[in-house]
Amino acid sequence: MFCKKFGDIMTISGFEMVYCFNRMKKNVLNKIMGSASKMAMATFTSRILGLVREQAMAAIFGASGITDAFNVAYRIPNMLRDLFAEGAFSPAFVPVFTEAKNKDFNTARRLLWSMFIVLLILTVFVCLLMIIFAPEIVATIAPRFASHAEKFEITVNLLRIMAPFLSLISIAALFMGALNTLKIFFVPAVAPAFFNIVMIVSIIFLPRWFESHGIRGVYALGFGVICGGLLQIIVQVPLIIRKNLGPMGPVNLISSHTKKIFARIGIGSIGIAANQINIFINTMLATGTVVGAVSWLNYAFRLFQFPLGILGVSIAGSNLVHFSDAWKAGRKEEAIGFLKSSYLLSLITIFWAMSMLFAMSGPTIHLIFERGAFKFTDTLMTTDVLRLYLLGLPFYSLYKIFGPTFYSLDKPKIPVIISVCSIIVNIVFCLTFVPIFGFKILALGVSLSITINALLQAVFLGKMLSLRPSFFLNFKVIKVILSGSVTCGIVFVLTEYFFDYNQSFLVKILIFVALGLFGIFVYGSLLALLGEWNNLKKVLGRFKK
């Protein structure tokens, strides 16, 4: 066998060098695809259950003042989870934990439980503030609710019920980050599926029970959120113990590693704060338009996140772990190889998802949500919003890959500054055009903002890693864009011609599935005709395993 490690390249012949590079390229792609496929399968399960959850909520509560109240209340702890969980914390924690683990496993173990205590203290304190100041928070983020006493009261009570969710989801994210660094992806990624199962049960069965005891049925949703968040922690605990990551003392709340994490979180918090202002303004603008706007935006965003969560986030999570591991070990070329493989794999999968979902957005929303209290007018509104969200889907996927990479490069300030700039653009855009064109502009603003964010991140990464422009825009990328665009056009025309909303449910399902399969065939055939069959075959082959 030629070259057992990257450093051996300096001692081998030209032929052996070519062989070595090809073998490393294949290994890099296999690692990324292997990890991403495990996360994708787990996340697919979770997202399917998430759609069932939203489907149940739409059928029982529709797009009404009640669902607006729940979505606003749930959005508040969800906004803060960006700081204490996925947003600022995970990108700051994973590279530092990886660095500690590579030096001494017990140091990393103590670091995990040091951060556990710190997170618990901080999030519990914030939860208490949310409970105490719930009326003021709701009045600030949804000022129009104050004129509807019942809706305002429901929102305040739901916020108080769901406030502890912040602590639960933060600890779950901490355990997920630690397990991911050990190359364990499936169980942490499938944990949210248990959250969705609890929520589905709560939506279908608990409202009537609550009402029979004189309690509003919508409060069952808040109860489900708390139980689901707790379950996300519980399912990861056995693996934490099995991998020798159980509690170990003495913990050191102020060590060189925790200081480094806090410093990165502090920088990331600036971007998170700007993002919260963005969400605050978007929510305020939505609640100030028409009843149901918050719910239409929420349902559309859930569908928008479906392919992003399965494909984009899975690939991004895999890239963060492998890129950090290679970069911290000094294998810079291998790290760049991971980034390139993640970038191309993300585009190939996400562009197909965007094309299909855009072309079939109306039937998708109709089949998933339109029943019970969710009417055809709700389908039309949600469809328009979804298509505007989808314009930014590929860039959102790349943003998920590029952003955490800066933390591995010890340059956390750059994505923060970029995020602040892009968010300012979104705020100005929405404040200017929502009063003219209505709430749908909020979705377009999100797409515009994330597009600017991803493009600027690509520019800075190119300079920092000495990447040529062809790294980001090359013939492979052009082929993917062309194939996806043609597929979208063909499937859109066929959907308009063949899909009839008035047909029986079984016939609609059969037509929907047929159109979806045909879209897969068209996209794959176009990529094959353009010379990308080998790459496509690798993707399909790996995801079958």
Average pLDDT for 141-161 = 86
Do residues 357 and 218 both lie within one domain? no
Do residues 341 and 436 both lie within one domain? yes
Q: Is residue 25 part of a domain?
A: no
Distance CA 39, CA 189 (A): 6
Do residues 185 and 311 both lie within one domain? no
Q: Is residue 118 part of a domain?
A: yes
- Which residue's structure tokens are 């063909």? 490
pLDDT interval class at 408 (50, 70, 90):
confident
Specify the pLDDT at position 41.
Answer: 67
Average pLDDT for 340-358 = 86
Q: Count CB-CB contacts under 10 A for residue 246.
A: 12
3-state secondary structure of 412: coil
- What DSSP element (H or E) covers 395? helix 393-408
Q: Is residue 50 part of a domain?
A: no
Specify the pLDDT at position 402.
Answer: 84
Q: Which of 207, 196, 204, 258 is nearest to 229 (CA)?
A: 196
Enter the tokens of residue 273: 């704060």
Question: Among residues of the chain, what percentage have pLDDT more than 70?
Answer: 82
Average pLDDT for 520-528 = 90
pLDDT at 494 over 90: yes
Higher pLDDT, 385 or 10: 385
Specify the pLDDT at position 2.
Answer: 39
Rg (CA), the chain: 23
Do residues 420 and 477 both lie within one domain? yes
Q: Is residue 51 part of a domain?
A: no
For the chain, the domain total comes to 2
Do residues 238 and 319 both lie within one domain? no
Do residues 502 and 538 both lie within one domain? yes
> Which conformational region is residue 62 in: left (phi greater than 0), alpha (psi within -120 to 50 degrees), or beta?
left
Do residues 236 and 103 both lie within one domain? yes
Give the end of a domain, one of 220, 247, 280. 280
Q: Mean pLDDT lowest for which of 10-14, 78-82, 180-184?
A: 10-14
Distance CA 413, CA 411 (A): 6
Higher pLDDT, 538 or 453: 453
Q: Count CB-CB contacts under 10 A for residue 437.
A: 11
pLDDT interval class at 355 (50, 70, 90):
very high
DSSP state for residue 57 in the 8-state scheme: H
Q: What is the distance of C-alpha 35 from the center of its chain?
A: 16
pLDDT interval class at 544 (50, 70, 90):
very low
Distance CA 51, CA 200 (A): 10
Task: Give the range of the structural domain holding residue 261, as residue numbers without chain letter.
Answer: 65-280
- What DSSP element (H or E) covers 307? helix 293-307
pLDDT at 8 over 90: no
- pLDDT for 270-290, tens place per residue? 655 555 566 667 767 777 777
Q: Is residue 29 part of a domain?
A: no
Give the end of a domain, one of 280, 313, 340. 280
Do residues 326 and 421 both lie within one domain? yes
Question: Among residues of the chain, what percentage have pLDDT more than 90?
Answer: 20
Do residues 254 and 332 both lie within one domain? no
pTM comes to 0.67
CB half-sphere exposure, 273, CA atoms < 13 A: 7
Do residues 330 and 269 both lie within one domain? no
Instruction: Work out the mean pLDDT of the chain and round it to a whole number.
Output: 80
Specify the pLDDT at position 538.
Answer: 58
Distance CA 281, CA 82 (A): 17
Average pLDDT for 111-120 = 86
Specify the pLDDT at position 276.
Answer: 58
What Cα–Cα distance (Å) separates residue 123 from each residue in 9, 165, 239, 380?
49, 9, 24, 39
Specify the pLDDT at position 436.
Answer: 87
Query: Measured in Å, how far apart are the chain's first and last C-alpha atoms?
Result: 26
Q: Mean pLDDT lowest for which of 77-86, 191-200, 202-211, 385-394?
A: 77-86
Specify the pLDDT at position 386.
Answer: 93
Do residues 224 and 245 both lie within one domain? yes
What Cα–Cα distance (Å) separates residue 160 from each residue in 130, 218, 285?
7, 13, 23
Specify the pLDDT at position 59.
Answer: 78
Give the end of a domain, one of 256, 280, 304. 280
- pLDDT for 25-84, tens place per residue? 455 545 555 555 556 666 667 777 877 887 788 777 776 677 778 888 888 887 777 666
Specify the pLDDT at position 5.
Answer: 42
The answer to whether 469 touches 324, Cβ cutoff 8 Å, is no
DSSP state for residue 474 in the 8-state scheme: S
- pLDDT for 434-480, tens place per residue? 888 888 898 898 889 889 988 998 999 888 888 888 888 888 889 98
Distance CA 407, CA 247 (A): 27
pLDDT at 511 over 90: yes
Average pLDDT for 97-123 = 85
Q: Which of 344, 393, 452 is nearest to 28 (CA)?
A: 344
pLDDT at 310 over 80: no
The answer to whether 281 touches 431, Cβ cutoff 8 Å, is yes
Higher pLDDT, 287 or 380: 380
Q: Mean pLDDT lowest for which of 172-186, 352-366, 424-438?
A: 172-186
Do residues 252 and 363 both lie within one domain? no
Specify the pLDDT at position 22.
Answer: 47
Q: Is residue 329 part of a domain?
A: yes
